[in-house]
Amino acid sequence: MRRGAKLLGAAAGFLLLLLAAACGSGEGDVPAGLNPGPPIRKAFQLSLEQAGREIQQAARSRGEVPQGEGREVLLAAGVRTVPQFDPWGGEVKYAGEGSRFTLSSAGPDGRWGTDDDVVVTGGE
């Protein structure tokens, strides 16, 4: 049953991407087929913020955010809500050091360090 739910969720996400590609968003220089548009970008931003809250909750119970880089660090700390990929097919990166962390995506253009990057930071 869980596998069916995952497949249904993936299919729904794919359909949203197709719909957004067909409609286009007019953002930047990203071809409409690669840019799922503002609603999906906002939903993705919110998913990273939710994951950030889970990371902060883990930090409260452990005394620090999960230390290091990569998804494996989060999984080892019991944090499971961070998406592996963004809506544009790029990797979501995690970095935690001391009491601070960063979740980031290269955004629709797939290039790091540009204005469309999606970044969530947290900690003290």
Q: So what's the pLDDT on residue 38?
A: 78
pTM of the predicted protein model: 0.69
Q: Is 113 exposed, middle or buried (0-12, 13-18, 19+ CB in 10 A)?
A: exposed
Where are any strands of DSSP class E within the chain? Answer: 68-69, 93-97, 100-105, 118-123
Q: Over the stretch 14-46, which tens digit does the pLDDT of each residue have?
A: 444 444 444 444 444 555 455 556 788 899 999
Residues 76 and 3 sit within 8 Å (Cβ to Cβ): no
Q: Over the stretch 55-110, which tens digit does the pLDDT of each residue have?
A: 999 899 888 999 999 999 999 999 999 999 999 999 999 999 999 999 999 999 99
Q: So what's the pLDDT on residue 33?
A: 53
Return the CATH class of domain 37-123. Answer: alpha beta
d(CA 86, CA 83): 7
Domain ranges of the chain: 37-123
